[in-house]
Amino acid sequence: MLAGGAKSRRFAWILVAGTLWLNLLFFIRFLEGIKRGYPDFTVFYTAATILREGRGHQLYNNQVQYEVQEPFAGHIAFRRGPLPYIHPPFEAPIFVPLTLLSYPQAFVVWDLLNVVALFGVALLLRRSVGALRLIPPWQFAFGSMAFFPVFACLLEGQDSILMLLLCTLAFNALEKQADLLGGCWLALAAFKFQFIVPIVLLLVIWKRRRVALGFGAVAILLAFASGGLVGARALLHYPGYLLQIVRAPSLGAVPSELLPNLHGLALGWRPFSGVFGTALAVLSSVMLFLFAARTGRASAQPGKLELQFSLAVVVAGLIGWQTNSHDLSLLVLPLVLITDYSLRAMPQAPAMKRALLLPVLPLLISPLWMVLWLVIGKVNLMAIPLMWWTWKIGKELSLDPGNPACAVS
């Protein structure tokens, strides 16, 4: 049995090494694009530069953003305007020190910080996830980089790994029944509020109301900080600016067929790209949220936090209106939690516990992501295994009376 386990681990690491090599080759081919300002990191570097120059009140001015981007990204032929910064103002100061470096240097430093953050996630999860105590943090970090959304985050210089780190801190706090602190960590991750707000709402519905207190207190502070950075007028202009950008692909919105969520799955097909597709996306998102709310509340016990938090994260990724591939870096958390839950429960119901992880297998195949992204342009198909996984987690929650060992098929 031990020999079989060692053989499986060896095979898994061969797959991870192969995927990492493939990702590295892709990264190297994209190096010239990075130097020319193609990645999403451009928006953070732009926003931080505007703040450093004392023009915070112009943060959401497209003309100002374009002028700032001109020296390092203005020679991209297909970009007729700026790559717009659409996150809340309070995130931009994080990147201000990086603007003291050239754009390529800042990109490298930011990616290195993201790798450090992956090590941080590993160290934090080791405190509450038994399975990770057998894996060195460096192995976890490299294994995570084989997961395409994490690789996409590094390729684009995005901030999704930072969101993953903050959500990991929130999970650890919830695990210790420190719900107020958990809410505070989630508020700090609200620079991607389309994912964090559904997670908070679900936790509150699942009888963890102190999460809302911590989230609300920090969110108010962040709102005041944002007002101080850009001024009240720019802050009030922000919601309208955000809606304008996400509705117009020419201004930087990602095409629906490249969104691995319900929005992309419903609108990413030509016959459904109008009002019907929008209505279908909204209706399916509401139904999925209600499914998660009802399932989690009916089994709201501290012993089920792994399943509940995993369900909240997966549902948030599916119903977020603008979910990009790199945003699914957050799935590292439920992948770890569900794997740990399955390993603990395996002796009692091995088939059922393996079935919990079966839906995510397509998400772990990096070449499949690349084909869907670069060849056929249908990344929205990744929403299908995510919906299947949501159903399996919800089913496990409804069957499990509180102890994983008691679950039966």
Span 58-114, pLDDT tens digits: 999 989 999 999 888 766 666 667 889 999 999 999 999 999 999 999 999 999 999
What is this structure's pTM?
0.92
Question: For residue 336, what pLDDT is reported?
Answer: 94
Question: For residue 83, what pLDDT is reported?
Answer: 87
Instruction: Please tell me the distance from the alpha carbon of residue 352 to that of residue 407, in angstroms, as a whole number.
Output: 9
Q: Helix, strand or coil for residue 234?
A: helix
DSSP code, position 255: P
- Note whether 62 and 82 are within 8 A (CB): yes
Quick: pLDDT tens for 135-154. Answer: 888 889 999 999 999 999 99
Give the least confident one: 116-130, 256-270, 316-330, 350-364.
Answer: 350-364
- Note whether 369 and 304 are within 8 A (CB): no
The whole-number average pLDDT for the span 44-59 is 95
% of the chain residues with pLDDT over 90 = 63
Instruction: Please tell me the distance from the alpha carbon of residue 15 to that of residue 71, in angstroms, as a whole number.
Output: 41
Higher-pLDDT residue of 355, 78:
355
Q: Which residues of 124-154 are buried (b: 16+ CB within 10 A; e: fewer)?
A: bbbebbebbeebebeebbbbbbbbbbbbbbb
The whole-number average pLDDT for the span 53-57 is 94
Give the least confident one: 8-12, 56-60, 111-115, 171-175.
Answer: 8-12
Asked whether the predicted pLDDT for residue 2 surpasses 60, the reply is no
